[in-house]
């Protein structure tokens, strides 16, 4: 599943090819995604110019003349830039073709993604308006997280995966950040000291930033007529490493389930 770093990498990958260009045509082969694509989307997008390609949480926001296209990659979605309109394969649901000759192609085998349109300011959209701060923004800092954690008895892992507290921290990066900050994942959020919260905020920013930087190396693959789009495998310390050795102390990595999510930790480093 694309996590925030993949979405950010995607945004950075497609932006140079579409920002400033005008939409020539939109081909929609499948309207049934997580929510139906608006039936008049091709008409709405016709001749619109792209002003910005932004991201909020895991939504890519393509700001056009009269509104914003909201894209979500769901479980298996991806975006690619094609140089010419090469034949569509089975799961290539949407092509947005630009006057500059490039085509933005949306592919999604499981169809849990979304392509929506709003003519209103996008920050007021139902999917966007209640989101917590961006993890890499200054708004997400230790004072903020301390204040939020003091009100909660849920585990710290559950807290940082709550999109109303902070967006875009999926299970992989929650596991990795807690390992980096040496915090036992099931620690009640309100039991953490300011110092530890501070370490956690730094770890979250580091782990996401490292993943985005690593993803940047795949950017060159974004413009391709076939093949797999830019998801990348991150250098992970604990996630998926049950029974493996902790890179810090050598202890065996443990796996437990919390809130039905796989939770990996080092029993020595994360007490």
The correct pick among 75, 249, 256, 259 for binding Zn ion (CB under 5 A) is 249
Decide: is 248 part of the binding site for Zn ion (CB under 5 A): yes
How far apart CA 124 and CA 115 sit, in angstroms, is 17
Annotation marks residue 247 as catalytic = no
Cβ within 8 Å of residue 241, ≥6 positions away: 253, 264
Decide: is 266 part of the binding site for Zn ion (CB under 5 A): yes
Binding piece for Zn ion, criterion CB under 5 A, among 8-16, 19-27, 141-149, 250-258: 250-258
Q: What secondary structure letter does DSSP report for 193?
A: -
Annotation marks residue 152 as catalytic = no
- DSSP H/E element including 119: none
Q: How far is the CB of 238 from Zn ion (least distance, A)?
A: 9
Decide: is 111 part of the binding site for Zn ion (CB under 5 A): no
- Partners of 115 in the β-ladder: 71
Binding piece for Zn ion, criterion CB under 5 A, among 32-40, 122-130, 216-224, 243-251: 243-251
Q: How open is the CA angle 203-205-211, to the nearest 5 degrees?
A: 100
The correct pick among 57, 238, 246, 253 for binding Zn ion (CB under 5 A) is 246
CB 41 within 8 A of CB 29: no
How far apart CA 14 and CA 16 sit, in angstroms, is 6
Q: How far is the CB of 209 from Zn ion (least distance, A)?
A: 23
Among 55, 58, 157, 241, the one annotated catalytic: 58
SS3 79: strand
Decide: is 238 part of the binding site for Zn ion (CB under 5 A): no
Decide: is 183 part of the binding site for Zn ion (CB under 5 A): no
Q: How far is the CB of 201 from Zn ion (least distance, A)?
A: 21
Decide: is 268 part of the binding site for Zn ion (CB under 5 A): yes
Structure tokens at 51: 């002003």
CB 97 within 8 A of CB 23: yes
Q: Which residues participate in catalysis according to the annotation?
A: 2-3, 58, 261
Binding site for Zn ion (CB under 5 A): 246, 248-249, 251, 266, 268-269
């Amino acid at each position: 599943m694309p996590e925030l770093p993949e979405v950010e990498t995607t945004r950075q990958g497609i932006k140079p090819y579409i920002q400033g260009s005008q939409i020539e045509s939109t081909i929609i082969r499948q309207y049934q995604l997580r929510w139906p694509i608006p039936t008049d989307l091709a008409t709405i997008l016709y001749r619109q110019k792209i002003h910005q390609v932004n991201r909020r949480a895991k939504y890519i926001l393509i700001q056009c003349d009269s509104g914003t296209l909201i894209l979500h990659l769901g479980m298996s979605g991806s975006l690619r830039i094609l140089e010419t309109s090469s034949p569509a394969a089975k799961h290539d649901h949407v092509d947005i073709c630009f006057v500059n000759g490039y085509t933005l192609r949306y592919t999604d085998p499981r169809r849990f993604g979304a392509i929506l349109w709003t003519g209103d300011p996008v920050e007021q959209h139902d999917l966007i308006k209640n989101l917590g701060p961006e993890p890499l923004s200054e708004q997400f800092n230790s004072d903020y997280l301390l204040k939020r954690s003091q009100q909660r008895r849920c585990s710290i892992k559950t807290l940082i995966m709550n999109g109303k507290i902070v967006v875009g921290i999926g299970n992989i990066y929650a596991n990795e950040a807690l390992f980096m900050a040496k915090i036992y994942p099931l620690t009640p959020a309100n039991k953490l000291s300011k110092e530890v919260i501070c370490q956690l905020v730094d770890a979250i920013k580091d782990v996401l930033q490292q993943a985005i930087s690593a993803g940047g190396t795949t950017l060159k693959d974004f413009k391709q007529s076939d093949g797999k789009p830019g998801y990348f495998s991150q250098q992970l310390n604990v996630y998926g490493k049950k029974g493996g050795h902790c890179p810090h102390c050598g202890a065996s990595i443990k796996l437990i389930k919390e809130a039905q999510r796989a939770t990996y930790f080092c029993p020595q480093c994360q007490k």
